[in-house]
Amino acid sequence: MASEGTATESTPNEPQARHVIYCGVCTLPPEYCEFGGTAKKCKEWLEKNHSDLHEKLYSEEAVAAVLSTLSVDAQKRAAKDSQKKEAKAAAAEAKAAETKAQAQVLIKRVERNKRKYVTAVSGLEAHGMDLKKVAKEWGKKFATGSSVTKTASGGEEVVVQGDNSDEIFDWVVDVAGVPEANVDCVEDKKKKAT
């Protein structure tokens, strides 16, 4: 019995899992945020949420220690690269905001048979919405069939059974936050086959 007790004491402890902090902006560990495109935002996030780690990584002493290991040419290149990355990230963010502001949401009421309609909505993906989730939510909200279909132009649209164009317009403006100027309602009649 005594020998069993010493055997458990002498066995090494199992390695403990390491707790890693991930950046809330770029989802990389904070040590690697500088290699992403959003270094400035990552630095602000780290300072706000984990000030001790921010002090460890970005204090004057830490930056001076890292820069002292680089040659003069490498320091210049590092500064130039960081400026390029920041400018590229800012340009990409501005372009994404511009395309989102210009993106149109088209709500079409299409006549299927004599008094039967379907409502087709396209342009939602430009506003960052998942079409499948939107279709499912609308199916529940309007108690109708709703699906995502491919258009002839290669895009995708959400098709809802019934004439729900007014309710969908209100949902797109209120819930999705799309400006009213960017939402267009159209009535489309299918041509009769001859």
Q: What is the tens place of the pLDDT at every residue in 157-177?
A: 899 998 888 888 888 888 877
Q: What is the mean pLDDT of the chain?
A: 80
DSSP 118-147: EEEEE--GGGT--HHHHHHHHHHHHTS-EE
pLDDT at 136 over 80: yes
pTM of the predicted protein model: 0.53
Per-residue pLDDT tens digits for 25-81: 888 888 888 777 777 788 888 888 888 888 888 777 877 777 677 777 777 787 788
pLDDT value of residue 17? 83
What value does the mean pLDDT take over residues 4-23?
A: 70
Q: What is the pLDDT of residue 66?
A: 72
